[in-house]
Structure 1
Amino acid sequence: MHPLLPSLAAACLYAGAATYQGLRLTQRSSPDKRLLALLGVLALFFHGGSLFLQLHDVHGLNLDFFNAASLIACAVIALTLLACLRIPVENLLLLLFPLGGLTVLAAEFLPSGTIRPIDEHPGILAHILLSILAYGMLTIAVFQSILLLLQDYQLKHKHPSGLIKNFPPLQTMESLLFGFLWAGWLLLSLSLLSGALFLDDLFAQHLAHKTILSSFAWVVFAVLLWGRHRLGWRGHKAIRWTLAGFCLLMLAYFGSKLVREFILHI
C-alpha cells in the first residue's frame, strides 16, 4: 500500500478538526470534546499508517528529516489526546492539529535528504523512542507556554478573546506547564542515558553536535525547574527559559539532520 492515501486522509481530518475547534472558539463556545477526540484519533490512525509505510525499510528505519518531524508531531498529538482524558489541555490541539497536517504532508511530498537507515537494535530503538517522547513532551510544554503568554497578555490588557475565555485559570495553566516540563526533562534524562549506554560513541562526528546541544538543553531545563522549586520562577521568566531550552533541543536534532541530509549529504 502506498502512503499517499493515509497521508491525505490524516491531513484532511487534522484540518477538519482544527477548523471545527477554531470556529467554536471564535463563537465563544467550547467544542464537543468527544467529537474533537474522535476526529483526532481518526487522524492519528491514518497518520500512524502513513508513518509505518514511510519508516519501514529493508535495511532498517528510514528516519529522515521529514519522517522524523512527522513522527514527533504524531507522538505530540497522541500524548496531548491522552492528557485530555485527565487534564484540561484540549486548547493545545488548536495548534497541534495544523502541525500534524503540515508534517504528514511534508513527509509525503517533500524530497527526503541523504540518510542511512537506522539499525533496529533494541537498545537503539529504545533510545529513539525515549528521544521522541522527550521531544514530544517538551514540544507540548512549549505550546503550553505560548498559550500561557497569550493568556497573560490578554488578561493584562483586559481584552480576552473567545479562545482565552475557554482557558483554565492562569495558575492552572502554569502548573500544567511545569508538569509537562518535569515529564519532558525526565524523559530527556533517560534519552541521554540510553544514548550513553547503547551508542558506540556519543561524540562521534555525526553525533557530537546533537549530544552537546542536547546536554545544554538538559541543563537549561534543569536550571528552570530548580528556579521554579527554589526561587518561585514563573511567568515571563519561565517562558523564556522554556523557549531557550526548546530551541537548543530542536537545533540538536533537526539542525544537525538538516545539515547532514541536505547540505553535507552524509
Structure 2
Amino acid sequence: MHPLLPSLAAACLYAAAASYQGLRLKQRSTINRRILAMLGVLALLFHASSLFMQMSAPSGLYLDFFNAASLIAAAVILLTLLACVRIPVENLLLLLFPLGFLTVLLDQFMPAGTSMPINESPGILAHILLSITAYGMLTIAVFQSLLLLLQDHQLKHKHPSGLIKNFPPLQTMESLLFGFLWAGWGLLSLSLLSGALFINDLFAQHLVHKTLLSFFAWVVFAVLLWGRHQLGWRGHKAIRWTLAGFCLLMLAYFGSKLVREFILHI
C-alpha cells in the first residue's frame, strides 16, 4: 500500500476531531470524550501506518526532517491521549490535532532531505527513542504552558471565553505543567546519558552542536524545576523558562537537521 492513503485518512480524521472539539467548545457544550478519543485513536493509527511505510527501508530506519517532525507529533498525540485517561488534558488536543494534520501532510508531500537510513546498534536506537519521547513530553509541556498563559490572561482581564471555561482551575493547570516538565526533563536526562554511552564519535557524526544545545536546554529545564521547588517560581516566569528551554531543544534537533539536509546536504 502507498503511504498516501493512510496519510490522507489521518489528516481527515485529525481535521474532524479538531473541528468537533472546537465547535463544541465554541458552543460551550460538553464534549463527548468517547467520540473525541475514537477520532484521535483512528487518526493516530493511520498516522502510524503512514510513518511505518515511509520510514521503513531495507538498509535501516529512514528518519529525515519531515519524518522526524511527523513522528514526534504522533508521539505527542499518543502521550496526550494516554494522559487523558487519568488527568484532564483534553484541551491540549485542540492544539495537537492540527499539529498532527500539518505534519502528516508535510511528511507526505514535501521533498525528502538527504538523510541516510539509520542502521545502528540497539543502544543507538534506544537513544533515538528516548530523545523522541523526551521531545514529545516537553512539547506537551509547552502547549500546556501556552494554554496556561491564555487562561491567566483572560482571567486577569475578566473575559473568559468558552474555551477557558472548560479548563481545570489555574492551580491544576500549573501542576500539570510541572508534571510534564519533570517527566520530560527525566527523559531528556536519559537521552543525553544514552548518547554519551553509545555514540562514539560526535565530530564524525556532526552531532556536537546538537548535543551542546540539548545540554543547554537540559540546564534551562533543571534551573526551572529547581526554581519551582526552592523559590516557588510560577506563572509568567515559569512559562518564559519553559519556552526558552523548548526553543533550545527544537533548535538542537530540527535546526541541525534542517541545516544538514537542506543546506549542507550531508
Report the AA paired with residue 168 of structure 1.
P
1:38 is paired with a residue whose SS is: helix
Instruction: Find the aligned partners of 2:167 and 2:77 in 1 and give their Cα distance.
Output: 19
1:208-265: CA deviations, max 9, x gaps? 1100000000000000000000000000000000000000000000000000000000
Whole-Å separation in 1 of the counterparts to 2:99 and 2:76: 10
- Residue aligning to 1:4: 4
Letter in 1 for 2:188: L
CA distance in 1, matches of 2:205, 2:86: 43
Q: What fraction of aligned residue pairs are identical, expressed as a percent?
A: 84
* 1:58 is aligned to 2:92: no
The alpha-carbon deviation at position 204 of structure 1 amounts to 4.1
2:198 is matched by which residue type in structure 1? F
Across the two proteins, how many residue pairs are aligned to each other?
A: 266
Moved more, 33-42 or 196-205: 196-205
CA contact (8 A) 1:141 1:181 kept: yes
Query: For the residues of structure 1 that align with 2:120 and 2:214, how far apart are their CA atoms?
Result: 22
Stretches of structure 1 lacking an aligned partner (at least 5 in a row)? none
Following the alignment from structure 2 to structure 1, what is the Cα–Cα distance between the partners of residues 240 and 201?
A: 33
Cα distance in 1 between the residues matched to 2:205 and 2:111: 25
Secondary structure in structure 2 of the residue aligned to 1:167: coil
State the Cα RMSD in Å.
0.7
Partner Cα separation in structure 2 for residue 265 and residue 120 of structure 1 = 21
SS in 1 for 2:240: helix
Corresponding residue for residue 218 of structure 2: 218
Shift of 1:116: 1.0
Tell me what 1:41 maps to: 41
**Is 1:170–2:170 an aligned residue pair?**
yes
1:3–1:53 CA contact under 8 A, matched in 2: yes
Q: What do residues 68-118 of structure 1 show as CA deviations (whole Å, max 9, x unaligned)?
A: 000000000000000000000000000000000100000000001111111
Q: Does 1:144 align with 2:144?
A: yes
CA contact (8 A) 1:15 1:101 kept: yes
- Residues 176-201 of structure 1 deviation map (CA, whole Å, 9 limit, x = unaligned): 00000000000000000000111112
Bigger Cα displacement from structure 2, 143-152 vs 27-36: 27-36
**Match of residue 29 from structure 1:** 29
Aligned to 1:201: 201
Structure-2 separation of matches of 1:30 and 1:190: 40
Query: 1:130-170: CA deviations, max 9, x gaps?
Result: 00000000000000000000000000000000000000000
- Cα distance in 2 for partners of 1:37, 1:125 equals 30
Aligned to 2:96: 96
CA contact (8 A) 1:142 1:246 kept: yes
- CA contact under 8 A between 1:195 and 1:202: conserved in structure 2? no
Distance 1:53 1:147 in 2: 34
TM-score (normalised: structure 2): 0.99
Residue 130 of structure 1 pairs with residue 137 of structure 2? no
State whether residues 3 and 50 of structure 1, in contact with CA within 8 Å, keep that contact through their aligned partners in structure 2. Answer: yes
What residue is the counterpart of 2:233 in the other structure?
Answer: 233
Partners of 1:179 and 1:243 in 2: CA distance? 16
- Which sits farther off after the overlay, 108-117 or 227-236? 108-117
List alignment gaps of at least 5 residues for structure 2: none
What letter corresponds to residue 233 of structure 1 in structure 2?
Answer: W
CA distance in 1, matches of 2:241, 2:119: 35
